[in-house]
Structure 1
Amino acid sequence: MQTETKPKVLNRLSRIEGQVRGIARMVEDDRYCVDLLTQLQAVRAALHRVETEVLRDHLDHCVMGAMTGDDPEDRKAKAGELIELLARASR
C-alpha cells in the first residue's frame, strides 16, 4: 500500500470501529430496530468506501507496476488476481 493511502485507510477503519461499538451499545440499550438498521447501512457504506480506496491503491501501485514492468509472470499473476477479485465481488 502506498504511504499516502495507508493513514487514510487506517483513519477510516478507526471511525468504522467506533461506529460498530456504537451499534453494539444500541443493541444493549434496546434501541429501535430501524435506528440499528440505519447505522448498519452506514457502516456497510463506509466499508465499501474503504474497499474502493484499497482497490484504487492496488490498481495504481501494484497492478500498474506489474503491467509496466519487465516480468510477464508478474503481469499474468496480477491480471489473475483482478479477475478472481471481480468474480468474488459479483457473487
Structure 2
Amino acid sequence: MSDSKQTHTSHPATLKRLRRAEGHLRGIIAMIEAGRSCLDIAQQLHAVEKAVGQAKRTLIQDHLDHCLEDVVGPLPRNQRRSIDEFKEITKYL
C-alpha cells in the first residue's frame, strides 16, 4: 500500500456514499437480530452491495482519469487510442 496521500474531486462523494452504506449495513444487522424476513434482508443487502460497487467504480474511474493521465502525459493521437480504449472498457467492470 502506498503512503502518499491522494485526494481527488470524487473522494468526498465516495466517502458520503460509503458512510451511507455503513449505516445501512448496521440497519441490516439489526434486521437480522430482530428476526426480519430473509427477503427484506436480501433486498437491503443488495442495496448495500450496489452502493459499495458504485463507490468502487467511481474511485477506479477517477484514478484512471487523473493518475494514469499524469503518468502517461501527452501522447500522439495514434498512441492515445489504446489508453482511451482501456479507460472506456473499465467502465464495464
- What TM-score does the superposition give when structure 2 sets the normalisation length? 0.70
1:25 and 2:30 equivalent?
yes
1:74 match:
none
Number of equivalences: 73
Q: Structure 2: 5+ residue runs without aligned partners?
A: 1-5, 75-82
C-alpha RMSD of matched pairs (Å): 2.0
| Amino-acid identity (%) | 36
- What TM-score does the superposition give when structure 1 sets the normalisation length? 0.71
Please state which structure has a larger fraction of its residues in helix: 1
Q: Structure 1: 5+ residue runs without aligned partners?
A: 70-78
Per-residue CA deviations over 1:2-44 (Å, capped at 9, x if unaligned) read 4421111110011000110000000110000010001111111
Moved over 3 A (4+): none
1:8 match:
13
